[in-house]
C-alpha cells in the first residue's frame, strides 16, 4: 500500500441492501449534511480524534446506491423522517441533491419467493447492479451493507455447508438462500466487502464464509448495537468486575418504526433476542434469569425506549437492583454507525485484511468471529481493540 | 521477595479509622462469615479468579482493630445493621466471636478540637495504639483504612506544604490537622500503608505525601466508588466512544445512614460532589450541565438510591435521554471493597511498591495519583490496569 | 339490625381457599400482630378513620380456617415468608399461637380432576368443612375468600347458564366446575358470603350468581388490585381529566412468588391480562396501544416490580411520556386487603345487602357488577363510593 | 342570566401578563389552530364532553392582548418555540395572522423599580391599557392572566393588609407592590377577573382580595399544576386511601426554559417549593421526609423532566417504593390550561360568581380559597367539583 493511498483512499461506494429504509436514508442525509459542514459529526465513531489520521476515506468521498423492494423515493422518505423528528426539516433543502443522486442509484432488489428461475440468475443480476455502480462512478471499491428488515430464521440446509454445494443448488433451484444471504452472496461475487447490520442470517453460512475467503474479502456483522444492548455492553462489566452476582436481567423494548413491526413477528424476534442475550451471558455467566421483550408500538414512530431491570446480590447476599431507561431515535442511532462501518471496512480492505473483521465487534450485538477466537463483549475493551487495530495501520 | 512469601503473606492487620461504623462492622462480619465458608465472597473483587494466585493475604489471616470516638459495641452495631437489612440476623451467632475480638482491639480516637495540647501528642498516642496492635498480634504489617464520616473541607495552611513545617506546627499547636489527616499522619508514623475510603482530605496534603515517601510506604484513595459514581464510570465511555454529545448529566442521591446525615451538611457535601463530578468531566469534557444532589432521608436507613438523568444528542442533533436508578445497601457495597483494599495494599507493599498506588483507581471516585500521571476514569480500563498490575507480580 | 349488633358484630369466620398460601399466611400473622398491638395496621383500609365507627367486626374477633391442597404447616410457611422479607422474623414468636390455631382449621381442598365421583359429592364435603368450622367456633357468619393460585380459563359450558342445569350436571359428572367455582358453589351452599381475590372464574358463572341470589348472600370480586393496576387506577384519570391523549400504555411485571410461576403459563396470564387491561380502556378509551407482560423471575421471591410506560400527546400534538416503577412485596400488599374484605363483606351482610357488592370495586382489578351497572375505575371515585356506602350504615 | 347569554357569551378578551412569553405565545397559536380545525383540542379540559353545553365562550371568540417588558415579536417567538419542538413548524403559516393580531395588542408592562413616581400612576396606565383593549374590540369582558416569570417573595408590608392603606401608599410611593400584585391591582381596577398562573404573590394580598370583593370580581390561582404536582395530586390518594404509610417523597425537576432560569434563583424557588409541598402534606400528613429540587438545565430547552421517589411502608412495615418520571413540554402543558381558565372564569362571572373561584382548584398547585374553606388536593375530587359546578349552571 503506497503512502499516497493512505492519504487518499479514493472514492468508495456504499451499497445499501434496504436503500429506501430509514437507516439508509438517514445515512445519506447525514453524510451530505456533515460533508457540507452544516452539522458536526455527532454519533460518528470514525470522526473521533482517535481515528483522525488512520487513513479512512473522507465522508465526502462516499457514493451511495443500493437495492430495495419498495418504491418510495429517497426525498419523500427523508421528508417522512424529518416529520418524525429524526432530523430537522430545515436540513432538507441542502441535502436534496444528494438524496436525488442516491435515489438514481437504487435498483429493485430480490424478494423471497419472487421468481421461479434458479436463484443463480437473481444473484448474477444483483451482482451486476453493484458492479455497474462501481464502474459508472469509477469507485476504488464498494462496501455492501445490509440495513433491510430483519428476516425470520429459516431452516438449516445441507447446501449451506460448502460453497460448491451451494453453487450447485443455486444453479438448480429458485429458493435456496434467504434474501439476506442472497445479497451477501451477490456482494461477494461482485468483489465487495460486506457488513450485516441486522440479525438476519446473511453471510453467516459456512458456504458464504468460504466464498469470502476465496475472494480474499473482508466482512463484518452482525446486528448493530444501538440501544439496550449497547447499554448492556457498558454496564455488564460493572457487575462482573465488582463480583456482584446478577440474579436476573429483564428488558422491555418499545419500538415504533419498521423494525418494530417486523419484530412483532415472534419468529423474527427470536433471532433478535438470541443476539441480545448472548453478550450478557458471555459477561455474566449462563444462569441468568429474565426475559427480553420487543413490543411494537406504532404510535412511537422513530422513537424507541428500552427499560432494563437488573436484580443482583452484593456482599453477604444483600439484594440490590438497578434499572435504566434508554430513549433514543432509532435511525439516528444506526445511521452514523453504518457510515463508520463503510469507512472502516474499506480501510481494512486497503490494509489487506480479509475474512471476519473482529476489530469491528464494538459495533455489533453478536460479532462474527473466526471460529477459534473468543468473544469480548465489554464495550470499552471492544473500543480499545478497534482503536489499536486502526492505529497499527498508521505509518 | 521469596516464593514462600508469595504463598504465605502472614497475618495482616486491618486498622479502621471509624471502627464502630457500619462499613467497618460489616467488613468484620463479612470476613468472618466468608472465612468460615458460610457465604460466598460476593462483592469482593479480590476473590475473583483473576486474583486467585497473585499472592494476596487470605481473608482468614486478616486481624481487625481500629479507632473510633463512639462507644457502641460491635456486636450491638451488628445487630442494628442486621435489623436494617444489611445482612441476615441468622448470621450473627456464627460471627459473634469475631465481633468481640475486633471490639477488644478498638481504641478511642481523636475528635476535632478535643485537646488543648500540641497535636503531636495525640498523633503519638494514635500511632502507639497501632504499633501495639501489630506487636500484640505479631502481624506482618497493618493497613490503616479511613472509613469514618466525611469531614467538611478545612482551610489550606502553610504547614501542609512540607513535612518539616508540619512537624514544627504539630509540636506547637493543638489544631493543625483535621482528624482525617491526623490519622493518616499517625498511620505513617507507625509504619503502615494507608487507604482513604472517604473524600476527607486525609493523606492528600503535600506534607503527608512527603512522609509516606520518606518512609517508603504505599497509600491509596480517595472516596470509595460504590454507587452513582460507579455506574457513571461504567456508562461514561458509552457516550464518549460512540461520539454521542452529552449535554447534561444530573443526579439525585437519597441516603439514610450516617453518611447521609453528614452529607446533609452542605460543606461536607461539597467535597463529595467535587469528587463525583471530576470523573464525568474527565470522560466527557468540561462543559457538562447538570447538578448532583445528596439528600438525607433518615427513614431510608441503610438503603441508598441514586437517579441519574443524561440528556445527549446523537446524529444530526437528535435529542435522546438515558436514566438510571441504582438501589443499593450502602455498607454492603462498601465493606467488601475495604477488605479488597486491605489485601491489595498489603500485597503491593510486599512487592515493594511505595507512594500512591494508582493501580487501585478502580476503587475510588477521585483516585490519588502521582503528580505527573493522567487520569483514567473508565471502569473497565481501571479494572484491566488492576488485573495486569497484580498479575505482573505472579512468578 | 339492632344498635347492639352495630356495636358488636360477633365473631366472624374467615375461610381461605388457598389457606396455606403466602397471602392467607400473611393475613393470619398480621391479624394476630395487629390484634395484639404489636404493629400499627398499615395497609388496612378498614382501619382508616373513615371506617372507625361503621360497625365493622374487630380484627381480634376474626377466626381463621380454610382449604388447601398442600401440606406445609402455617408456622413453617410463616418462617419462609419472614426469611423472604415479608415481615420481620422477630414477629414470629408472638404470633405462633395464632398460626397454630389457624393451622388446625385447615382442611384438604379439591384439586382439578382428583375424583371420579359426581362433583356434587366433593361440593358437599367442602361445604360441610365450612359449616362445621362455623358451628365449632359459634361464629355469627363465615366469609369465604379465594386466595389460591390463578387458574387457566376453561371452556364455557351450557350447565353454567342456570343453577338448575348446574345442579343436574354436578349430580352426574366429576368435572363440571373448575376448582375456583366449585369452592364458590360450596361457600354459597354453606350459606357464606364469597370474595374472589384472584382472576379465576369463581363465582362469575350465571348459575352461581343465581344461587347467591336465591340464598340472599353477598359476594364480591375479582382479582385484588395490589400493584400495577392500582397505580393505573390512580393515574388513568390524570390523562382523562386533563384531556391528554394517551397513545400507548405498556407494562412489564416481574414476579417471583407462587403467583409468578402460575402466570408464566400463558393461559393463566391471559385471564390476568384481560382484567388488567379492562380498567385502562374504561378510563382512556378502547384504541390504546401497548402490551402488558408478566415475567416469572424466581429469584425475586416475594418482591414484585412493575414498570409502565405511557406515551401521550398534549396540546398541539406535543409528544410526552410518563414512566413509573412500583416495587412492592406481594403478600404484604394483598394480605391487608383480604382482612378488609372479610370485615366489609361481613358488615354488608349484617346490613342486609345481597348480590354483587359494587361498593367494594375499590379493591378489585375487574369488579363484579350487577349487569345493568356501569363501571367506575377511578381509584378516588371508588374510594368515595366505599366510604359513603358504609357511612350510610352508621346510625 | 338569559338563555341567549348561555348560548352566546359574546367575545371575551384574554389579557396576558407576560404576553410575549412561551405560554402566552403557545396559547395564541393553539387557539388559532384549534379554532380553524387544524388540530384537535388535546389538552384542553374545557373541550371535554363534560363541558360541551355549559355555556363557555367559544375558542374562536377569544381575543388576545397583554403586557410584557420584552420586545420579541410574537411571530418570532412562535418560530423559536416551533424550533424547540413545542408545535410543528408547519403550523406557523396558518396562525401567523392570529399572532400578528395579538402582537398589536401587546403593551409595555411594568418592571420592578422602573419608575420614581407614585405607583398609582403606573397602575392607572396598566388599567387604561386593558380598558382600551376591551373597548376597542367591544368585548363582553376581559380576563387577565398572569403567565410571567416567577418573582422572588418580597417582604410583608402593612399596606397589604387593607385596601385603604394600600391606596394611600400607592399614591405616595413608587415601590409598594411587586409587579405581580401591581398587575392584579390594575386588572381589578379595570373591572377584570384575574387568574394567577404563577406562584408569585399576585392577588393573594388581603388588600387586593378586598378590592375584588368590592368590585364583585372573580379570581383564581395560583401556580398552574402541569407536571410533578399534577402527578402527585393523582398519586397521593393511592397511598392515603390504601392506608400505606409514606415515609419520604423526594423529587428532582430538570427545566430548561425561562422558568427554569428563574427558579435557579433560590428565592424564587422557595415560593415554588412551598406550593409544591403543600398538596402532598394535605393528603399524606405533615411529617413527610424528602426534598424537592428544581434544577435549571439550559440545554433541555422546552422539555422538562421530573423524577419522584416515594418510599412507603405496607402491611407489617414491609418497605416498598414507587418512582415516576414525567417528561413533558412545558408550554404545551401550560397553554391549554390558560385557555381553559379564561373560558371558565369568564363563564363564572357570567353566572354571577365573585371572589375566589374554588371550583378551579383542579388547575392549581396551591388553590386560593376562601379563608374558612378546607383544601382538597385529590385530582379526581377536584375534577368532580369542577364538573359539578359548571353543570349546575346548565338550565
Count other Cβ atoms within 10 Å, centred on residue D78: 25
- The distance of Cα B24 from the centroid of its chain, to the nearest Å, equals 11
Alpha-carbon distance of A230 to A232, in angstroms, equals: 5
Residues 6+ apart with CB under 8 A from C67: C15, C16, C17, C18, C19, C106, C107, C108, C109, C110, C126, C129, C183
Looking at residue D8, what is its pLDDT?
46
C contacts of D329 (beta carbons < 8 Å): 314, 318-320
Q: Which residues of B touch D295 (CB under 8 A)?
A: 250, 290-291
Report the share of chain A in percent with pLDDT over 90: 81
Contact partners of D by the rule of 3+ C-beta pairs under 8 A? A, B, C
* Cell matching residue D273: 417549593
Domains of chain B: 3-223+332-392 (3.40.50.720), 228-329 (3.30.360.10)
CB A244 within 8 A of CB A284: no
Residue B230's alpha-carbon distances to B246, B263, B361, B379, in angstroms, are 18, 18, 12, 8
Query: Would you call A291 and C293 a contact, using CB atoms and an 8 Å cutoff?
Result: yes
What pLDDT is attached to residue B2?
38
What per-residue confidence (pLDDT) applies to D360? 97
**pLDDT tens-digit series, residues B210-236:** 999 999 999 999 999 998 999 999 999
Preferred mutation among C311, C322, C324, C328 to probe A, highest tally of A CBs within 10 A: C311
Q: Is A325 on the interface with D (CB under 8 A)?
A: yes
Nearest to D316 among C30, C314, C324 (CB): C30
The whole-number average pLDDT for the span A307-321 is 97
Amino acid C287: pLDDT: 80
Residue A213 above 60 pLDDT? yes
Min Cα separation A72/chain B (Å)? 22
pLDDT band of B261, cuts 50, 70, 90: low
Q: Region B135-150: what's the mean pLDDT?
A: 96
Helices (H), chain D: 3-7, 22-35, 74-83, 92-103, 119-136, 163-172, 179-189, 206-214, 228-241, 258-263, 266-284, 330-350, 379-392
Q: What is the band of D370 on the pLDDT scale with cuts at 50, 70, 90?
A: confident
Q: Which of A300, A311, A323 sits opposite C311 (nearest CB)?
A: A300
Q: Which of B172, B160, B163, B182 is nearest to B67 (CA)?
A: B182
User: Tell me, what's the pLDDT at D248?
Assistant: 96
Instruction: Report the residue of D284, D295, D296, D310 to disrupt the B interface, i.e. the one with the largest count of B CBs within 10 Å.
Output: D295
Asked if residue C395 has pLDDT above 60, the reply is no
Q: What is the mean pLDDT of residues D114-135?
A: 94
Outline where DSSP puts E strands in C187-244. 193-196, 218-220
- For C293, the closest of A293, A325, A327 (CB atoms) is A293
DSSP D364: B
Write the CA distances from D107 to D21, D26, D68, D126, D370, integer angstroms.
13, 18, 6, 9, 33
Residue B8 pLDDT class (50, 70, 90 cuts) = very low
Cβ neighbours of D23 in C, within 8 Å? none
Q: Which of A35, A37, A318, A385 should be substituted to probe chain B, the one whose Cβ sees the most B Cβ atoms within 10 Å?
A: A318
Is the pLDDT at D395 greater than 70? The verdict is no
* pTM (whole model) above 0.80: yes
**Do residues B291 and D293 make contact, with C-beta atoms less than 8 angstroms apart?**
yes
For residue A89, which residues of chain D lie inside 8 Å, CB to CB?
89-90
Task: Please check the confidence at residue D22 and state whether its pLDDT lies above 90.
Answer: yes
Query: Which pairing describes strands B355-356 and B319-329: parallel, antiparallel, or unpaired?
Result: unpaired
Distance from CA of D332 to the nearest CA of C (A): 5
If DSSP states are collapsed to H, E and C, what string results for chain B? CCHHHHHCCCCEEEEEECCCCHHHHHHHHHHHHHHCCCCCCCCCHHHCHHHCCCCCCCHHHEEEEEEECCCCCHHHHHHHHHHCCCCCHHHHHHHHHHHHHHHCCEEECCCCCCCCCCHHHHHHHHHHHHHHHHHHCCCCEEEEEECCCCCCCCCCCHHHHCHHHHHHHHHHCCCCCCHHHHHHHHHHHCCCEEEECCCCCHHHCHHHHHHHHHCCCEEECCCECCCHHHHHHHHHHHHHHCCCEEEEEEEEEEECCHHHHHHCCHHHHHHHHHHHHHHHHHHHCCCCECCEEEEECHHHCCEEEEEEEEEEECHHHCEEEEEEEEEEEHHHHHHHHHHHHHHHHHHHHHCCCCEECHHHHHHECCCCCCCCCCCCCCHHHHHHHHHHHHHHCCC
Between CA B280 and CA B97 the distance in angstroms is 43
- pLDDT one-digit tens code per residue, C15-56: 999 999 999 999 999 999 999 999 999 999 999 999 999 999
**CA–CA dist C322, D304 (Å, integer):** 12
**What pLDDT was estimated at residue C363?**
97
With CB atoms and an 8 Å threshold, state whether B322 touches A326. Answer: yes
d(CA A343, CA A364): 16
In sequence order, what are the residues at sequence separation of 6 or more whose Cβ sits closer than 8 angstroms to the Cβ of residue D18? D24, D66, D67, D68, D146, D147, D148, D149
- Cα B37 from chain centre: 25
* Cβ of residue C379 closer than 8 Å to a chain D Cβ: yes
- Specify the DSSP element, H or E, that contains C67: strand C62-68
Chain B from 216 to 245: CB within 8 A of any A CB:
230-231, 233-235, 237-238, 241-245
For residue A90, the chain D residues in CB contact (below 8 A) are: 89
Percent share of chain B, pLDDT over 90: 81
User: What per-residue confidence (pLDDT) applies to B56?
Assistant: 96
Q: Are strands B245-255 and B218-220 parallel, antiparallel or unpaired?
A: unpaired
Q: Would an 8 Å CB–CB cutoff place D89 in contact with chain A? A: yes
Q: How many CA atoms lie within 13 A of D373 on its CB side?
A: 13
**pLDDT interval class at B259 (50, 70, 90):** low
Q: Which helix (H) or strand (E) holds A131?
A: helix A119-136
Task: Give pLDDT, residue C1.
Answer: 36
C-alpha distances in Å from residue A269, one per residue of A148, A260, A261, A262 = 15, 9, 10, 8
Lowest mean pLDDT among A25-29, A250-254, A375-379: A375-379
Which residues of B are less than 8 Å from A336 in CB distance?
243, 314-315
Residue C7 has pLDDT above 50, yes or no: no
Residue B382 has pLDDT above 80, yes or no: yes
Q: What is the pLDDT of residues D276-318, one digit of tens each?
A: 777 888 899 888 899 999 999 999 999 999 999 999 999 999 9
Mean residue pLDDT of chain B comes to: 92
Judge whether residue D113 has pLDDT over 80.
no
In this complex, the chains that touch A, judged by 3 or more CB pairs closer than 8 A, are B, C, D
pLDDT per residue as tens digits for the range D339-366: 999 999 999 999 999 999 999 999 999 9
CB contact, 8 Å: C325 with chain B?
yes
Residue D47 to residues A54, B292, D34, D337, Cα–Cα distance (Å): 61, 41, 11, 11
CA–CA separation, B186 vs B127, rounded Å? 5
Q: How many helices (H) and strands (E) does chain D have?
A: 13, 11
Contact, A394 vs A351, CB < 8 A? no
Sheet holding A62-68, edge to edge: A106-108, A62-68, A12-17, A141-146, A193-196, A218-220, A355-356
Helix axes A379-392, A330-350, angle to 10 degrees: 30
Q: What is the mean pLDDT of residues C57-69?
A: 97
Rounded to two decimals, the ipTM of the complex is 0.94
B residues 333-372 closer than 8 Å to A (CB): 333, 335-336, 362
Indicate the range of A30-44, A288-302, B304-318 predicted with least confidence.
A288-302
Cell of C326: 412500583
**How many beta-carbon pairs under 8 angstroms link A with C?**
70
pLDDT higher than 80, residue A9: no
Give yes or no for C89 touching B (CB within 8 A).
yes
Please name the helix (run of DSSP H) or strand (run of DSSP E) that holds residue D321, with its range, or none: strand D319-329
Sign of CA dihedral D369, D375, D378, D381: negative
Instruction: Categorize the per-residue pLDDT at B257 as very low, low, confident or very high, splitting at 50, 70 and 90.
Output: confident
Note the pLDDT of residue B110: 80
Tell which residue, A46, A18, A386, has the closest CA to residue A195: A18
- Which of D291, D311, D327 is facing B300, going by the closest CB pair? D311
- In total, the C-beta contacts within 8 angstroms joining chain B to chain C are 5
Strands ordered across the beta sheet of C193-196: C106-108, C62-68, C12-17, C141-146, C193-196, C218-220, C355-356
Is the pLDDT reported for residue C394 higher than 60?
yes
CB contact under 8 Å between C42 and D313, yes or no, is: yes
Average pLDDT, chain C: 92
Determine which of A259-263, C284-288, C358-362, D247-251 has the lowest per-residue pLDDT on average: A259-263
In the block, which residue shows the cell 366469609? C143
Q: Which residue bears the cell 469509477?
A: A138
Residue A236 has pLDDT above 50, yes or no: yes
Pairing of β D303-313 and β D245-255: antiparallel
pLDDT at B6 over 50: no
Indicate the angle between helix axes A266-284 and A228-241, nearest 10 degrees: 20
pLDDT at A3 over 50: no
Distance of CA B354 to the CA centre of its chain: 18
Instruction: Provide the terminal-to-terminal Cα distance of chain C, rounded to the nearest Å.
Output: 11
Residue A33 sits at the vertex; the CA angle it makes with A28 and A35, to the nearest 5 degrees, is 90
Burial string for A21-59 (b: 16+ CB within 10 Å, else e) reads: bbbbbbbbbbbbbbbeeebebbbbbbbbebbeebbbbeb
pLDDT number for residue B115: 79
Q: How confident is the model at residue C53, as a pLDDT?
A: 93
Amino acid at each position: 500500500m503506497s503512502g499516497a493511498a493512505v492519504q487518499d483512499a479514493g472514492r468508495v461506494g456504499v451499497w445499501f441492501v434496504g436503500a429506501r429504509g430509514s437507516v439508509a436514508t438517514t445515512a445519506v442525509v447525514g453524510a451530505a449534511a456533515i460533508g457540507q459542514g452544516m452539522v458536526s459529526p455527532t454519533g460518528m465513531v470514525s470522526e473521533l480524534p482517535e481515528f483522525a489520521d488512520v487513513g479512512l476515506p473522507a465522508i465526502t468521498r462516499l457514493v451511495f446506491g443500493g437495492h430495495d423492494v419498495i418504491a418510495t423515493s429517497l426525498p419523500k422518505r427523508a421528508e417522512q423522517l424529518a416529520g418524525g423528528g429524526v432530523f430537522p426539516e430545515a436540513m432538507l433543502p441542502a441535502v436534496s441533491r444528494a438524496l436525488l443522486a442516491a435515489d438514481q442509484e437504487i435498483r429493485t432488489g430480490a424478494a423471497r419467493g419472487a421468481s421461479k428461475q434458479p436463484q443463480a440468475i437473481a444473484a448474477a443480476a444483483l451482482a451486476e447492479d453493484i458492479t455497474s455502480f462501481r464502474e459508472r462512478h469509477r469507485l476504488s471499491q464498494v462496501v455492501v451493507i445490509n440495513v433491510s428488515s430483519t428476516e425470520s430464521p429459516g431452516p438449516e440446509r445441507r447446501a449451506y455447508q460448502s460453497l460448491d454445494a451451494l453453487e450447485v443448488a443455486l444453479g438448480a433451484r429458485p429458493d435456496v438462500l434467504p434474501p439476506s444471504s442472497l445479497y451477501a452472496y451477490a456482494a461477494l461475487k461482485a468483489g465487495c466487502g460486506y457488513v450485516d447490520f441486522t440479525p438476519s442470517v446473511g453471510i453467516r453460512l459456512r458456504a458464504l464464509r468460504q466464498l469470502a475467503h476465496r475472494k480474499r474479502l473482508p466482512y463484518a456483522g452482525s446486528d448493530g448495537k444501538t440501544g439496550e444492548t449497547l447499554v448492556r455492553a457498558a454496564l455488564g462489566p460493572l457487575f462482573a468486575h465488582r463480583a456482584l452476582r446478577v440474579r436476573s436481567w429483564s428488558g422491555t423494548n418499545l419500538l415504533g418504526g419498521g423494525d418494530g413491526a417486523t419484530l412483532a413477528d415472534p419468529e423474527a424476534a427470536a433471532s433478535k433476542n438470541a443476539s441480545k442475550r448472548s453478550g450478557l451471558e458471555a459477561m455474566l455467566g449462563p444462569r441468568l434469569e429474565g426475559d427480553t421483550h420487543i413490543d411494537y408500538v406504532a404510535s412511537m414512530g422513530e422513537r424507541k425506549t428500552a427499560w432494563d431491570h437488573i436484580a443482583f446480590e452484593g456482599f453477604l447476599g444483600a439484594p440490590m437492583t438497578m434499572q435504566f431507561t434508554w430513549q433514543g431515535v432509532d435511525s439516528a442511532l444506526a445511521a452514523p454507525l453504518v457510515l463508520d462501518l463503510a469507512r472502516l471496512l474499506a480501510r481494512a480492505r486497503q490494509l489487506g485484511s480479509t475474512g471476519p473483521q473482529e476489530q469491528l465487534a464494538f459495533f455489533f450485538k453478536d460479532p462474527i468471529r473466526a471460529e477459534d477466537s473468543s468473544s469480548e463483549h465489554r464495550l470499552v475493551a471492544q473500543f480499545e481493540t478497534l482503536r489499536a487495530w486502526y492505529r497499527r495501520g498508521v505509518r
